[in-house]
Amino acid sequence: MSSSSLANLPVRLRRSVLSVPAINPRALAKVPDLDCDVVIFDLEDSVAPEKKGEARENLRRFFADVSDLHGKECVIRINGHDTGFAADDMAAVIACRPDAVLLPKVDGPQDVEQVADLLTEADAPEHLRIWAMMETPLGVLNAAAIARTGRADGARLDCLVVGLNDLRKATGVPAEPGRTFLAPWLMQVVLAARAFGLDVIDSVSNDFRDIAAFEAECRQGRSMGFDGKMLIHPAQIAPANRNFGPSAEEIADAQAIVEVFADPAAAGLNVVNSGGRMIERLHLEQARRLLTKVRTIQDRKGNLA
């Protein structure tokens, strides 16, 4: 697949990616009624070592009992291969059959390839994808090589997620408003993802009570090219959906582009002139994908109403 082609990539909503501790049954019970696009069921940072087994059992029960998540994508974040928990975590992933497994602290392509091989050996369904946390200095340096594995046969890599808390800890860069000194690394991950047709999710914002600061970070992340944001609290869902979702102006523009190319006069043309604006067929692909997302959002609202 060409890295520049949009046509064959699935259209996914990933505006709001909420992390839910797998050890917390009350939080798990609320998941079906939340209006987030993706839920990450966390077995890693939010679960104490002595509680890992209990958290896995919580997930097994949840996936066995819950039949309707209203179109949400489900991802399980496992522990690193060097922790001693990864093998049991992967057994839980294979039993639960989520949409994806999220790998923490990915340093290089081998981390993705190893898990892809495990999923293939376990005869996991093709739709069970891999997401990668980009949260170490080595991982950011190797972002392009990691993203490239997403184009290899059987690699399953689908999405990169930036983890700034670990990256700040490793580099000593403080948590300052505007993320000035982190911006080059954020953009490096975005560029790597886009080069190989992957989605890319911005890092968490730690103070869920400061919604104004969170919205500012969402606007920055969208301007950087991120598809959505990883969240730590349900209060962040609506602002993330609003800031990473299509605006009324973008929807109207997409509809206008589709209408221009639907005109018989545009048949066979790769570029058309619409009111002094040159519109290419690549804009038509983008417009169709945006309108597909709009329909998905509308369907979700109807299901949750």
The binding site comprises: 77, 135, 166
List, as residue ranges, the binding site for Mg(2+): 135, 166
How far are the Cα atoms of 157, 182, 275, 291 from residue 252, in angstroms, in the given order?
33, 34, 15, 10
List, as residue ranges, the binding site for substrate: 77, 135
Classify residue 235 by its DSSP letter. Answer: G
- Rounded to whole angstroms, how far apart are CA atoms 76 and 90? 9
Helices (H), the chain: 25-30, 52-65, 86-96, 109-121, 137-141, 143-148, 164-171, 183-195, 211-224, 237-244, 248-262, 281-304
Identify the residue whose tokens are 């993320």. Answer: 179
- Rounded to whole angstroms, how far apart are CA atoms 188 and 140? 7
Which tokens sit at 275? Answer: 């009111």
Which tokens sit at 75? Answer: 């991802």
What Rg do the C-alpha atoms of the chain give, in angstroms?
20
